[in-house]
């Protein structure tokens, strides 16, 4: 049996002793006190699963004890005991959070049933509270990750773009480079913290996240050389404007031509009009007007061989896994840097549907 601690509050010595013997016979550890003031102090300093309290006592009554314990932020069941029963006091007790109401003289068999039922209800309430807390936590972490990863991706990629522009213009400034490196390290640290938060909320999902991980940002002068064979058109579907612009800049810096779209319906129309021209679609999985899976299926109805690269600031969930099984070629989690998106785009370009 789980070690449920019970506090018995009764100003009648014989009643306290009878309750103690009956409860200890059933295996419960029992603490006794003779008044509400003493009980309140015990409840402040100790943890109990159940309080059995007499309703009518000198000083603090059972009802007053219930009122005062509401501020303790502790979860325990309460059974009121009285020989002066009335519907009014019963309703008042329930409103204040009492679990049950038991009449004196107490039937020991009835006491055993009521105590067991009160503790079972307490366990259920604790499990429900914990489940709700975890759901709330997970939802908060997922939303926070998504909202932070959007601007963080812009920051990380912008740092790369500034470095590249400085190199193109022949600008050498150790101070500016140092500031950029500090920004880069801090951004990656934020990304690491967000990843750890995701692991706390759902560690199983994070064990094998499609082989993805944060990597160090580095410059590769061969980016443009390997992609200048011909002009390649990419449809970028991303509702966050800053992120859409930075992805466009990154891809255009590597000689891609980018067709941007903010909404799913706009993107579908663009793809239908230029499906012979567009070789790749970069698709944010969480759009305001449609989910990524439905957008993928709409694109595939237009062109069954469409190449789609998914992006998202949320965790790898079942819908993304389903999209990958349905024909999306890869998934890039936000935040990503310039090198990551260029490497992934180049990899997706190499895929053939015959494989």
Of 165, 161, 164, 179, the closest CA to residue 249 belongs to: 161
Report the alpha-carbon distance of residue 323 to residue 297 in Å, rounded: 9
Q: Write out pLDDT tens, residues 54-63.
A: 888 888 888 8
User: DSSP class of residue 107?
Assistant: P
Predicted pLDDT at 224: 39
Tell the residue number behind the tokens 């230029």, with chain if given.
274
pLDDT class for 8, splitting at 50, 70, 90? very high
Considering only residues 205 and 232, tell me which one the structure prediction assigns the higher pLDDT. 232
Domain boundaries, the chain: 6-106, 151-350
The encoded tokens of residue 14 equal 């014989």
Q: Write out pLDDT tens, residues 268-286.
A: 999 998 888 899 999 999 9
Domain 6-106 superfamily per CATH: Response regulator (3.40.50.2300)
Report the alpha-carbon distance of residue 50 to residue 354 in Å, rounded: 67
Tell the residue number behind the tokens 């890039």, with chain if given.
332
Q: Write out pLDDT tens, residues 186-215.
A: 888 887 777 777 666 544 433 334 444 333
Same topology for domains 6-106 and 151-350, yes or no? yes
Question: Rounded mean pLDDT of the chain?
Answer: 83
Most confident of 162-171, 178-187, 221-230: 162-171
The encoded tokens of residue 37 equal 């003031």
Cβ proximity of 309 and 328 under 8 Å = yes
- The yes or no reply on domain 151-350 and CATH 3.40.50.300 is no
Report the alpha-carbon distance of residue 54 to residue 64 in Å, rounded: 11
Return the exposure string of 250-263: e unless at least 16 CB atoms fall within 10 Å of the residue's CB, then b: bbebbbbebbbbbb
Predicted pLDDT at 85: 57
Other C-beta atoms within 10 Å of 5: how many? 15
């Amino acid at each position: 049996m789980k070690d449920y601690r019970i506090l018995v509050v009764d100003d009648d010595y014989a009643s306290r002793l009878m309750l103690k013997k009956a409860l200890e016979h059933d295996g419960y550890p029992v603490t006794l006190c003779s008044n509400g003031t003493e009980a309140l102090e015990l409840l402040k300093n100790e943890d109990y699963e159940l309080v059995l309290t007499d309703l009518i006592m000198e000083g603090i009554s059972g009802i007053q004890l219930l009122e005062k314990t509401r501020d303790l932020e502790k979860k325990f069941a309460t059974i009121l005991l009285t020989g002066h029963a009335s519907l009014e006091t019963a309703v008042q007790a329930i409103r204040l959070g009492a679990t049950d109401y038991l009449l004196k003289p107490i039937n020991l068999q009835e006491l055993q049933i009521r105590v067991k039922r009160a503790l079972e209800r307490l366990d259920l309430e604790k499990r429900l509270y914990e489940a709700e807390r975890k759901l709330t936590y997970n939802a908060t972490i997922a939303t926070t990750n998504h909202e932070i990863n959007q601007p963080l991706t812009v920051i990380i990629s912008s740092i790369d773009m500034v470095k590249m522009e400085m190199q193109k213009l022949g600008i050498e400034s150790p101070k500016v480079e140092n500031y950029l490196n500090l920004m880069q390290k801090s951004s990656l640290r934020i990304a690491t913290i967000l990843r750890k938060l995701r692991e706390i909320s759902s560690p199983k999902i994070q064990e094998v996240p499609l082989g993805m991980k944060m990597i160090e940002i580095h410059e590769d002068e061969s980016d443009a050389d390997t992609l200048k064979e011909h002009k390649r058109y990419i449809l970028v579907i991303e509702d966050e404007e800053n992120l859409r612009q930075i992805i466009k800049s990154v891809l255009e810096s590597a000689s891609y031509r980018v067709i941007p779209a903010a909404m799913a319906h706009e993107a579908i129309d663009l793809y239908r009009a230029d499906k012979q021209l567009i070789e790749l679609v970069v698709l944010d999985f969480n759009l305001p007007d449609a989910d990524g899976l439905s957008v993928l299926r709409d694109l595939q109805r237009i062109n069954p061989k469409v190449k789609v690269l998914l992006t998202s600031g949320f965790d790898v969930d079942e819908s993304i896994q389903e999209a990958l099984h349905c024909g999306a070629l890869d998934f890039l989690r936000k935040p990503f840097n310039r090198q990551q998106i260029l490497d992934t785009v180049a990899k997706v370009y190499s895929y053939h549907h015959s494989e």
